Amino acid sequence: MNNKTVVIGMSGGVDSSVAAILLKNSGYNVIGLFMRNWDSSINNDFLGNPNINNKDICPQEKDYNDALSVCKKIGIPLYRTDFVKEYWDYVFKYFLDELKKGRTPNPDIMCNKYIKFDLFIKEAEKLGADYIATGHYAKMEDGYLKKSMDTNKDQTYFLSQVPADKLKNVLFPLGNILKSEVRKIASEYNLITATKKDSTGICFIGERNFKQFLKNYLPNLSGDIINIETNEKLGTHIGLMYYTIGQRKGLEIGGFKDKLFVVGKSLKENVLYVCEGENNPYLYSDSCIVEDINFNCELRPNKCNAKFRYRQDDNEVTVEYLENGNLLIKYNNPIKSVTPGQACVLYVSDICIGGGVIKEVRRDDKKLWYVL
């Protein structure tokens, strides 16, 4: 592999750090590329976040400095590119538009589709890349995107919207390694990222106060919280955008034997519907309509497995291919908290064949009126 060049996305985290080491040890000519996708000078509400250290430097710059430190230590160059405008146009605006519709979007999936596996590839090609690589926990084997060996960290769910042609020359060095081993390797190399906390929050935007952050972009309209079974007003919500189906946090209302859970929304009436009890039938559906379909291989099964949330167990489903290009996904068993805006990702054994965005949630062949 001495004549093959791999450009790897360096995030300043432990996963991409070790992925770069594994590539170099395999004989590739490795080049690091750091993406700046968010202007951290905007709405600096990360200041005062107790989970963020080095408050005198924005988190994104710290990530770049960490990536630079790693690249220097392992002896590879690091380049830097700016996709701030593109991230805003293709990912963040989508995120805001979905929230306005009352849905629960997954911006990380769109970031992979439009930024990491599109714009990044084009930039990597300018650097002479034969392959690109990332620190995702996934595999490419025999032309198929497959789950990683570390099933607890598997990230194929987030790669489900990446088109097949964008996966042709992609390497996932962490596909056959456990997270614990990644930490161990980073420690052996004495990398600055060895004990660094895994990133959370919105992709590239970081660990911000979510409610405070969204106030900069969307109006905060409070409204009634209604018990869907009794039609009783229980309290006041702080804005529909802050709630998702199945959520119980933020519903600390007294007088109930069981916990309350979000079960639906009405944009027209600005009402948040809740139910009592985690196994309440109102939380369950038996099918859904999925739109914006992407298949990354030739497989088109009628029966397969599906995930409707990250880290969710596989669910056996039947797939009907509708004339308008959407999918009707029927579950073998009722599933709780399937949510419009989230991804439905399809699997044949350990192969991720793609997926789409949940448009409607149904029960007994009827759209659930209280779920947007």
Beta carbons within 8 Å of 13's beta carbon, 6+ residues apart? 63, 66, 135, 193, 196, 198, 199
Residue 184 has φ and ψ, to the nearest 5°, of -65, -45
The dihedrals phi and psi of 279, each to the nearest 5 degrees, come to -110, 25
Q: Which of 58, 71, 203, 352 is catalytic?
A: 203
* Structure tokens given for 191: 């990398």
- 293 three-state secondary structure: strand
Q: What separation in angstroms does the CA of 229 have from each of 226, 233, 274, 276?
A: 9, 11, 8, 9
Please check whether residue 306 is in contact with residue 344, taking contact to mean a CB–CB distance below 8 angstroms.
Answer: yes
Helix (H) or strand (E) holding 315: strand 315-321
Catalytic (active site) residue 203 = yes
Torsion of CA 38, 44, 49, 54, to 10 degrees: 80
Kindly name the residue from 71, 111, 275, 352 that is annotated as catalytic.
111
Q: How far apart are CA 234 and CA 337, in angstroms?
A: 21
Buried b (16+ CB within 10 A) or exposed e, 157-192: bbbbbbebebbebbbbbbbebbbeebbebbeeeebb
- Tell me which residues are annotated as active site: 111, 203
